[in-house]
Amino acid sequence: DGTTGRADLGGMLEWDSPDCDPFRAVLAHPRLLPYYNELCGRGYRMDHLPILITQTTGADGFMFHGGATGDDGRWDHNLAYSCHNGSMHNALIAASLVLSPVAEGDGGFCILPGSHKSNFPCPDGMKAYEKYQQFVHNPALEPGDVLLFSEAATHGTLPWKGSHQRRVAIYRFAPHNMAYGRAYTPAWPPNMLKGLTAAQAAVLEAPYAVRLDRPVPSI
């Protein structure tokens, strides 16, 4: 509506148990591990501190962003997707933990399917959701779903039309030896490291290669 903004919150991994438990579970949940390993490779790591985003009815969206091809047409290896010999490689992926229901057309997360393979800049009209809306997908989601997507894909947020508050927690993961963000330097917040499982702690290791005895989460 032009006046209602979205709100955000951090620090969920530092909360006391049991409040932190669902958010920590996303780091190395047995149901998610096969997907993380396939998309980022064994030894994947958390790159960004997770953030919880809310939208109330009428809240503004967020312009389309992401994509491995910049506005100037240059390739951005920091966000890139590639596929070689049947294996997918992503420099950065997002994992979105859905905390409230989303019906198709409610707004919220939207994505341009197939754009992770694009070799041309996204048109300005599409980024502003002023043109080519027929190519944009706004998926229906249920609480407890985890939506995974490559940051090489062009994505954004549509204004929220639902009658309830939209809530979602967003994480980003990278391959073992890569970093986009710098939240891990000089160290993660101390309270975030207390009470972690071995698998969860492995995901918070600094970027370095698996061959250097990096701990690897396993089921």
Q: What is the pLDDT of residue 177?
A: 97
In this model, does residue 1 exceed pLDDT 80? no
Q: How far is CA 122 from CA 92, 128, 162, 184, in A?
A: 19, 10, 28, 31
In this model, does residue 72 exceed pLDDT 90? no
Q: What's the distance, CA 150 to chain centroid?
A: 8
In this model, does residue 158 exceed pLDDT 90? yes
Confidence of residue 71 (pLDDT cuts 50, 70, 90): confident
Q: What is the pLDDT of residue 4?
A: 82
Give the pTM. 0.94
Q: What is the pLDDT of residue 146?
A: 98
In this model, does residue 219 exceed pLDDT 80? no
Residues 95 and 149: beta-carbon distance below 8 Å: no
CA quadruple 206, 181, 19, 146: dihedral positive or negative? Answer: negative
Two tokens, residue 7? 């709100």
